[in-house]
Structure 1
Amino acid sequence: MCGVDAVEQAQAELYLLAPEDFVAERDAHVARAKEAGDKDAAKAIGALRRPSRPAWLTNLLVHDRRDEVEGLLGLADTLADAQRSLDGGALRTISAQRSKLVGALSRQAAALGREAGHRVDSTLEREVRTILESALADAELAERVRSGRLVKAEQHAGFGPAPDEGAEPKPSRPARDRPGPGSGDVGSGGGSGSGSDEETPDDAEARRRERELATARAEADRAREAAEQAQERHETARSEAEAAERRRDEARDRVTELIEALEQARTDASTANKEAHTTASAEKEAARAARTAETARDRADAAVRELQDS
C-alpha cells in the first residue's frame, strides 16, 4: 500500500473510533507504516489529532447517515436567502424544517454512539446538535463535517451567515422621506424640501442590533477559542492519565509475576534442600555399607590365603 493510501485508510478507520481508542490504534498504524518502510506515511499518521467526543459522534453520523446529513446541509442556501430577504414566513418554515432535521440527526448520532458501546448523555447530544446547526451557517465547517474526519466541536458565532463586510444593514421597512435640517430657512416652502439622509428610528435600531450582534459574535469567538483550548488540554491530560494508568497496571502485573516467581523459587529451593539432605544421608549410609563390604572382602581373602598355605 502506497503512502497516500496508507494515510487515507488510517483516517477512514481512526475517525470512527471513540477518542479513548484513538491513540493506541493510531500508534499501531504508525508502526505498520514504519515496518513497511514508509516514513512519510508514518509521520502523517502520527500527526493525526484525536477527535473530541462530539466530533467523533458527528463522524459516526456522517458515515452511517450521509444522505440525511447532506439533506440538512442542503438547507443552508435556502436559510441564508430567507435571512437576507427578511422573509418572515419563509424563515419560519425553513427554521422549523431545520430544527426538525437537526434534532433527529443529533438523536441518531447519540444512538450510534450507544450502539458502539459508549455512554452518550444529553449534554453530548446537544453538542452534536450545535455542530450541525453551525455547519448550516459556515460553509467551511460544513465541508469538514462532510469529510467525516471532524476533530473538534466547532461552533459558528451567530444565528445565521455573517453579513458581508462593509454592507449596510437592511432596514426592516422603507425609510420615509423627511425634510432636511434647516429646510424652513431654504427654498420657498417648508414642505417642498428634498429627501434627507437622516436615519429613521428603524435605521438606528437596525444599526444598533448589528453592532450588538458583532460584539456578541466577537465574544462568542473568544469564548469558543478558550473552550477549544481547554478541551484540547483536557484531552491531552486524559490521554496522559490513561497512559499512566496503563503503565501502572503493567507494573502491578509485573510485580505480581515477580512475586509468584519468587514464591515458586522458594518452594523449589526448599524441595531441593530436602532432597539434598536425603541424598546426603543416603550417601553416608552407602559409604558405611561400602566400608563394611570391603572389610568382609579383606577377611574372606585372608581366609582363602590361609587355606592355600596350609
Structure 2
Amino acid sequence: MDADGTVDEATDELYRVAPEDFVAERDARVAVAKENGDKDAARALGALRRPSRAAWLVNLLVHDRRDEVEGLLGLAETLASAQRTLDGAALRQMTAQRNKLVGALSRQATALGREAGHRVDSGLERDVRGILESALADSELADRIRSGRLVKAERHAGFGPEPEAGAAPRPAGRAPSGNGDAGADRGETGDDDTGDDTEDAGEQRRREKQIAEAEAALQRAEQAATEARGTHDRTREQAEEATRRQEESRDRVTELIEELDRARDEYAAANKAAHSGASAEKEAARTARAKDTARDRAAAALDELRSS
C-alpha cells in the first residue's frame, strides 16, 4: 500500500463499509500498511473518521447510482436562478422535479443499505433526503457527496441564495408590459370599460401577492423543517458517538478484567511455586547438613585410626 492510488482505493472502499464495521476494517488496513512498512499510508488511513449511517447510505448511493446523483445535483443552478428571480412557475416546476428525484434516490439508498444486510428505518431515509436536498443549495456539500466519502449528515439552512433585492414574482402566462405603463394593456380610447380593467388589474395584483406570500411561507416551512432535521442529525451523531465511546469503554473494561484474571492466575501459580521452592530448599538444607555431619564423623574416625 505504498501508492497514492492504492490508498485512495482503500479509502473509497472504507466509506462503503457500514459504520458499525468501519473502525475494525480501518484498523485492519492500518495494520497491513504498518506491516508493509508504509507509514504514510498507515497514517492516512488511521486519520479517516467513521461516517454516520446517513452519510454511509449516501456514499453507497454515489457509488452505485452516480449518474442519477449527478442528474439531481445538476438542478442546483436552475433552482438557484428561479429563486433569485422569484419566477413562480419555474420554481414550482423545478421544485416538483427536485422532490421526485430526491425521493427516488432516497429510496434507492435505503434499498442499497438493506441489500448490504443492514437495518435501515424511515428516519434514515429522511436523513438521506435532507442531505440530498441541502446539496442543491450548497456546492461544497455537493462536492463532498460526489467524492463518495461523506462523513456526517450535513444540512443547509434554506434552499438557495436569497432573491434579488426588489425582485417581484412573475405570474405564469403573463408577459411584462413593454413600456411599463399600465395603460398600455388597456388601449387609449377612454371607453367606460377602463374601470373593469382597473378592477381586473387590482385582482391580478392581489393574486400575485397571495402566490408570492404562499411561496414564501412554503420556503420558510421547508427551512424550518430542514433546520429541525439538522438538529436531529446532530443529536443522532452525538448519540452514536456516545454509544461508540460506551462500547469502547466496555471493551476496555473487559480487557482489563481479563488481564486482571490472568495476573491473578499467574500470581497464584507463582505463589504456589514459591512455597514449593521454599519447602524444597528447606529439605535440601536439612539433607546438606546431614551429609556434612556424616562427613565430619567419617573424617574424625579416619584421623583416630591414623593416630593409633
| C-alpha separation in 1, matches of 2:154 and 2:268 | 58
Alignment: residue pair count: 285
Residue 142 of structure 1: CA displacement?
Answer: 5.0
Deviations 1:198-222 (A, max 9, x none): 7443431331232232244235435
Instruction: Tell me if structure 1 keeps the 8 A contact 2:59–2:145.
Output: yes
Q: Which has the higher contact order (CA 8 A, sep 6+)?
A: 2
| C-alpha separation in 2, matches of 1:276 and 1:192 | 124
Residue 11 of structure 1: CA displacement?
Answer: 6.1
| C-alpha separation in 2, matches of 1:252 and 1:115 | 33
Query: 1:290/1:220 Cα in 2 relative to 1: closer, same or farther (>3 Å)?
Result: same
Q: What code does the residue aligned with 2:128 have?
A: V
| 2:289 equivalent in structure 1 | 287
Residue 231 of structure 1: CA displacement?
Answer: 2.7
| C-alpha separation in 2, matches of 1:266 and 1:144 | 57
Deviations 1:117-163 (A, max 9, x none): 4321122123324544565x6473655543434442436857x9986
| 2:219 equivalent in structure 1 | 217
How does 1:226-241 map onto structure 2 within 5 Å? 227-229=229-231, 231-236=233-238, 238-241=240-243
Instruction: Tell me if structure 2 keeps the 8 A contact 1:52–1:153.
Output: no
| C-alpha separation in 2, matches of 1:265 and 1:285 | 30
Partner SS, residue 125 of structure 1 = helix
Deviations 1:58-83 (A, max 9, x none): 121111221233345567789999x9
Instruction: Tell me if structure 2 keeps the 8 A contact 1:58–1:109.
Output: yes
- 1:299 is aligned, of 292, 295, 301, to 301
Partner SS, residue 168 of structure 1 = coil
Q: What code does the residue aligned with 2:122 have?
A: S
| 1:152 equivalent in structure 2 | 153
| C-alpha separation in 2, matches of 1:299 and 1:144 | 102
Deviations 1:253-291 (A, max 9, x none): 123213321332222222321232133123213422431
Identity %: 40
Partner SS, residue 190 of structure 1 = coil
Instruction: Tell me if structure 2 keeps the 8 A contact 1:172–1:202.
Output: no
TM-score, with structure 2 as normaliser: 0.64
| 1:66 equivalent in structure 2 | 66
Q: What code does the residue aligned with 2:274 have?
A: A
Query: 1:232/1:11 Cα in 2 relative to 1: closer, same or farther (>3 Å)?
Result: farther
| 2:251 equivalent in structure 1 | 249
Query: 1:237/1:106 Cα in 2 relative to 1: closer, same or farther (>3 Å)?
Result: closer
Q: What code does the residue aligned with 2:168 have?
A: E
Q: Any unmatched runs of 5+ in structure 1? A: 181-186
| 1:120 equivalent in structure 2 | 120
| C-alpha separation in 2, matches of 1:213 and 1:7 | 48
How does 1:91-102 map onto structure 2 within 5 Å? 99=100, 102=102
Pairing 1:276–2:282 present: no
| C-alpha separation in 2, matches of 1:211 and 1:300 | 130
Q: Any unmatched runs of 5+ in structure 2? A: 176-181, 184-188
Pairing 1:105–2:113 present: no
> Once superposed, what is the RMSD of the aligned Cα atoms?
5.2
Query: 1:196/1:56 Cα in 2 relative to 1: closer, same or farther (>3 Å)?
Result: same
| C-alpha separation in 2, matches of 1:213 and 1:85 | 8
Instruction: Tell me if structure 2 keeps the 8 A contact 1:60–1:148.
Output: yes
| C-alpha separation in 2, matches of 1:70 and 1:273 | 76
| C-alpha separation in 2, matches of 1:212 and 1:13 | 45
Q: Which has the larger radius of gyration?
A: 1
